[in-house]
C-alpha cells in the first residue's frame, strides 16, 4: 500500500472530532502502529458508526503514532493484536478473524509545517476488490478537523452500506420481514406523537434498515435528543422496533455575573439563548465567543469569561456566565509619524481617538476599541483625500 511510504513528522491534536455516547476501545502496541477497534450500542446505523469511529480516531491522534489500523467489531473485548511486522493484507485478514470483523480501516497521517495529508484504505475483508482508498489534505487545524469529519462520514457510510445490503438481502427469506410494533422509550418532554411522526417505519410495513437510519437522522435534526438507540426484538414471529431516546436537558435559567460595564439587556439582545429550550454545547460555545467579542469591542481585551452548569431535577440545567472584566485597555498616548501638513492633535480629532483623562471614568474616553480602528483609519484617509492628498497611505498602527 503506497500510503505507508508517507513520512510522519508528528501530530497530536486533542478534541478535533465530535464525540458522543459510543463504546470505543483501543490498544497501544509497538512504536509505530496504533491498533484499535470500535462499534456502537444497539442496531447498526451510519450515525452511530460515524460517532464511534470519530471517538476511536481521537485516541489515535492523541497517541502520536504514525500509522493506524482500526477494526469494526461487535465483540465487547476483542483479543490483543500487535502489528509487530509490516502491515499487509495477510496481517489485516488475521486481525479481521481475531476481531470477528469484515471491515478494517488502515492508513497514516503525515504533516509538513501546517500542511497535512491523510492516507487511508477502507477494507472489506470479505471482498478486498470492493475496498476504497481515501486521501485528504489541507493546511491548519480547522481544515484538519473538517477533513477528518469527512473521513468519519465515509467510514460510517462504507460500513453501514454493506451491513444494510446484507440485512435487506436476508429479509426476502425471513419470516419476520413485517413489523408488528414500533415503540418509543425514554422521552420525557417530547411527545411520543412528535417522535412517531418522524419515524419512517410503521406497524405492518416491511423492515428496512435504510428507513430506520433515516428516522434516526431526522430525530437528531430536531435538536431535542443527545442520543438515540434502536433496539429490534422478535417474539413469536413478531418483530418490534423500539427507538430509545435520551433528551437534551432544557435550560431552566441563564445568569450573568460580573458584567459591570455591559448590561444584561445588551447581552440578551445579541446572544440568542432562551430558557425552556434544549441545551446545546454548540450554542453555549457560540455565546462565549460573542461575549468575548462584546467585551473586546468595549475595550476589555483582558476580560475572562467562564460558564458553570447546574443540573436540576426533571432534566433541567441552569447556565451561569461568570465574567471577570479586568481593567480595560486605555490609550495613554497617540503618536503620528510623517504628518507634515496637519498636526497630530488635528488628526486625532478627525479619527475620534482620545487619550485617558480625569473624566474617563464618566465619559469612557480613552478606551482602546480595536473594532473601531479600521473605520477611524478610513476617516483619516478621507480627510487627506478631501484636502487633495490622493497618494496618501496609512500603515498598520503600532500598538
Residue 383 has pLDDT above 70, yes or no: yes
357 and 233 both lie in a single domain: no
| Alpha-carbon gap, residue 105 to 81, rounded angstroms | 15
44 and 144 both lie in a single domain: yes
165 and 255 both lie in a single domain: no
Contact 351, 379 (CB under 8 A): yes
Q: What is the percent of the chain with per-residue pLDDT over 90, rounded to a whole number?
A: 16
Question: Of 24-28, 179-183, 202-206, which range is least confident?
Answer: 24-28
262 and 300 both lie in a single domain: yes
304 and 388 both lie in a single domain: no
pTM, two decimals, is 0.47
Contact 45, 160 (CB under 8 A): yes
Residue 23: the pLDDT is 36
- The domain that contains 214 carries what CATH number? 3.10.20.310
| Alpha-carbon gap, residue 333 to 302, rounded angstroms | 20
Residue 333: the pLDDT is 76
Contact 8, 43 (CB under 8 A): no
| Alpha-carbon gap, residue 91 to 336, rounded angstroms | 70
156 and 284 both lie in a single domain: no
Contact 224, 188 (CB under 8 A): no
Q: What mean pLDDT is predicted for residues 94-107?
A: 78
pLDDT, tens digit, for every residue of 329-377? 766 677 788 888 888 888 888 877 776 555 544 445 556 666 677 777 8
204 and 58 both lie in a single domain: no
pLDDT, tens digit, for every residue of 219-252? 998 989 988 888 888 887 788 999 999 999 999 9
pLDDT, tens digit, for every residue of 279-319? 988 889 899 999 988 888 777 888 899 999 999 998 899 99
Residue 163 has pLDDT above 70, yes or no: yes
pLDDT, tens digit, for every residue of 168-191? 555 444 444 789 999 999 998 899
Q: Which three cell numbers stand for residue 230?
A: 434502536
254 and 344 both lie in a single domain: no
224 and 367 both lie in a single domain: no
Residue 6: the pLDDT is 34
Q: How many residues does the chain have?
A: 399
Q: What mean pLDDT is predicted for residues 105-121?
A: 82
Residue 20: the pLDDT is 31
The pLDDT-based confidence of 79 (bands split at 50, 70, 90) is low
| Alpha-carbon gap, residue 46 to 91, rounded angstroms | 27
25 and 101 both lie in a single domain: yes
Average pLDDT, the chain: 77
What range does the domain containing 342 cover? 330-399
What total number of domains does the chain contain? 4
Residue 2 has pLDDT above 60, yes or no: no
Residue 12: the pLDDT is 26
Q: What is the percent of the chain with per-residue pLDDT over 70, rounded to a whole number?
A: 78
Which of residues 147, 169, 191 is at a domain's end?
169
Question: Of 103-117, 200-214, 272-286, 356-370, which range is least confident?
Answer: 356-370
Residue 84: the pLDDT is 57
| Alpha-carbon gap, residue 143 to 127, rounded angstroms | 33
The pLDDT-based confidence of 17 (bands split at 50, 70, 90) is very low
Which of the pair, 250 or 261, is modelled with greater confidence? 250
Which of residues 129, 153, 169 is at a domain's end?
169
Residue 120: the pLDDT is 86
Which of residues 224, 246, 268 is at a domain's end?
246
Which of the pair, 129 or 311, is modelled with greater confidence? 311
Q: Which three cell numbers stand for residue 201?
A: 417505519
Sequence-distant (≥ 6) Cβ neighbours of residue 106 within 8 angstroms: 1, 67, 68, 69, 70, 87, 92, 120, 121, 123
The pLDDT-based confidence of 80 (bands split at 50, 70, 90) is low
7 and 109 both lie in a single domain: yes
47 and 144 both lie in a single domain: yes
Residue 237: the pLDDT is 76
The pLDDT-based confidence of 200 (bands split at 50, 70, 90) is very high
Which of the pair, 66 or 29, is modelled with greater confidence? 66
Contact 83, 30 (CB under 8 A): yes
Residue 184: the pLDDT is 95
Amino acid at each position: 500500500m503506497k500510503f505507508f511510504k508517507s513520512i510522519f513528522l508528528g501530530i497530536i491534536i486533542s478534541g478535533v472530532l465530535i464525540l458522543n455516547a459510543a463504546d470505543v476501545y483501543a490498544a497501544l502496541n509497538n512504536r509505530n502502529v496504533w491498533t484499535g477497534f470500535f462499534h456502537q450500542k444497539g442496531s447498526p446505523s451510519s450515525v452511530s458508526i460515524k460517532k464511534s469511529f470519530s471517538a476511536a480516531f481521537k485516541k489515535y491522534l492523541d497517541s502520536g503514532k504514525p500509522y493506524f489500523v482500526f477494526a469494526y467489531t461487535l465483540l465487547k473485548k476483542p483479543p490483543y493484536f500487535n502489528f509487530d511486522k509490516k502491515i499487509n493484507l495477510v496481517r489485516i485478514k488475521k486481525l479481521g478473524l481475531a476481531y470477528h470483523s469484515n471491515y478494517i480501516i488502515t492508513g497514516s497521517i503525515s504533516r509538513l509545517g501546517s500542511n497535512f495529508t491523510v492516507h487511508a484504505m477502507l477494507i472489506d475483508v470479505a471482498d478486498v476488490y470492493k475496498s476504497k482508498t481515501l486521501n485528504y489534505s489541507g493546511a491548519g487545524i480547522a481544515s484538519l478537523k473538517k477533513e477528518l469529519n469527512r473521513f468519519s462520514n465515509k467510514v460510517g457510510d462504507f460500513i453501514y452500506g454493506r451491513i444494510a445490503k446484507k440485512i435487506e438481502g436476508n429479509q426476502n427469506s425471513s419470516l419476520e420481514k413485517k413489523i408488528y410494533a414500533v415503540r418509543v422509550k425514554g422521552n420525557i418532554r417530547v411527545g411520543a406523537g412528535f417522535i412517531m411522526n418522524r419515524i419512517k417505519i410503521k406497524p405492518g410495513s416491511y423492515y428496512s434498515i435504510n428507513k430506520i437510519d433515516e428516522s434516526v437522522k431526522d430525530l437528531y435534526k430536531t435538536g431535542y435528543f443527545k442520543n438515540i438507540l434502536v433496539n429490534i426484538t422478535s417474539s413469536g414471529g413478531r418483530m418490534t422496533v423500539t427507538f430509545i431516546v435520551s433528551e437534551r436537558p432544557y435550560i431552566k435559567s441563564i445568569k450573568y455575573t460580573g458584567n459591570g460595564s455591559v448590561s444584561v439587556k445588551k447581552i440578551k439582545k445579541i446572544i440568542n439563548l432562551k430558557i425552556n429550550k434544549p441545551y446545546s454545547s454548540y450554542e453555549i460555545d457560540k455565546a462565549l465567543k460573542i461575549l468575548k467579542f462584546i467585551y473586546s469591542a468595549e475595550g476589555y481585551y483582558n476580560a475572562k469569561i467562564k460558564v458553570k452548569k447546574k443540573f436540576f431535577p426533571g432534566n433541567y440545567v441552569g447556565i451561569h456566565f461568570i465574567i471577570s472584566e479586568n481593567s480595560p485597555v486605555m490609550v495613554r498616548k497617540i503618536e503620528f509619524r510623517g504628518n507634515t501638513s496637519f498636526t497630530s492633535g488635528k488628526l486625532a480629532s478627525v479619527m475620534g481617538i482620545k487619550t485617558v483623562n480625569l473624566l474617563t471614568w464618566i465619559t469612557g474616553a480613552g478606551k482602546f476599541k480595536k473594532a473601531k480602528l479600521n473605520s477611524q483609519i478610513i476617516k483619516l484617509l478621507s480627510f487627506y483625500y478631501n484636502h487633495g492628498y490622493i497618494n496618501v497611505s496609512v500603515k498598520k498602527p503600532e500598538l
